[in-house]
Amino acid sequence: MSMFHQFHELWVAAGPFSVLGSVLVALIVLLFAWLALKDCPFGWVEARARAGRGFVNVSHRFESEWSAVDVLSYRVHRGKLIVHYRVTNRSDEFCGFGANQLRAFQHGIAIGQSGPEADYLRGWERNVTLLPGACVMLNQMFLLRDKSPVTVVANYCEDSDGGPFVLPVSNVKADK
């Protein structure tokens, strides 16, 4: 019996097991995807700030009835302030699914690619889900290594007509 025939017999004999194994692997992957999607994806908000050096690691939480925003860290890179945050949906809905989506626009900068938006909305966007009624405001002041105080304000709110949410970085300033 040739090597090909031996391989073919093994392949035919293993057919039901390979199908069951594939289904089991697919179920495990779906379980992990479901667990990952219960917490919304990590996002980045980046905007101009005073030039500074170093890394400021802050953990701060902003909560509403339906969601919470954890600010994981800040850092300044080439004169830009970068805020690393996570939005957590506090319901049983899958994050990333559903009609109500929040858009995070980074104003006036190019992080990656430019979208079809106007020039003042250049940048990239991250879609996550917040339930109706969710409104969270990020308003945080911190000191850079060079002792420059910086205030970041970002609003996380739903649109009253049920349209997409717009999350602008509404105010990033270096305080004097």
Q: What is the pLDDT of residues 127-171, one digit of tens each?
A: 334 444 444 444 444 444 455 554 544 444 444 444 434 344 433
Residue 21 lies in a domain: no
How far from chain centre, in Å, is Cα 93? 16
Are the beta carbons of 83 and 62 closer than 8 angstroms?
no
Residue 73 lies in a domain: yes
Whether this prediction's pTM lies above 0.75 is answered by: no
Residue 5 lies in a domain: no
Are the beta carbons of 42 and 86 closer than 8 angstroms?
yes
Is residue 112 exposed (0-12), middle (13-18) or buried (19+ Cβ within 10 Å)? exposed
How far from chain centre, in Å, is Cα 56? 20
Residue 10 lies in a domain: no
| CA–CA gap between residue 43 and residue 130 (Å, rounded) | 14
Are the beta carbons of 87 and 156 closer than 8 angstroms?
yes
Residue 59 lies in a domain: yes
Are the beta carbons of 132 and 91 closer than 8 angstroms?
no
Closest CA to 81 of 163, 152, 167: 152
Give me the number of domains the chain comprises.
1
Residue 12 lies in a domain: no
Phi, psi of 80, deg, nearest 5: -110, 140
What pLDDT was estimated at residue 87?
A: 57
Residue 31 lies in a domain: no
Residue 70 lies in a domain: yes
Q: What residue numbers bound the domain in which 151 lies?
A: 40-174
What pLDDT was estimated at residue 95?
A: 41
Predicted confidence (pLDDT) per residue in 37-53, tens digit: 554 444 444 443 333 33
Predicted confidence (pLDDT) per residue in 82-134, tens digit: 555 565 555 544 443 222 333 332 222 222 333 333 333 223 333 334 444 44
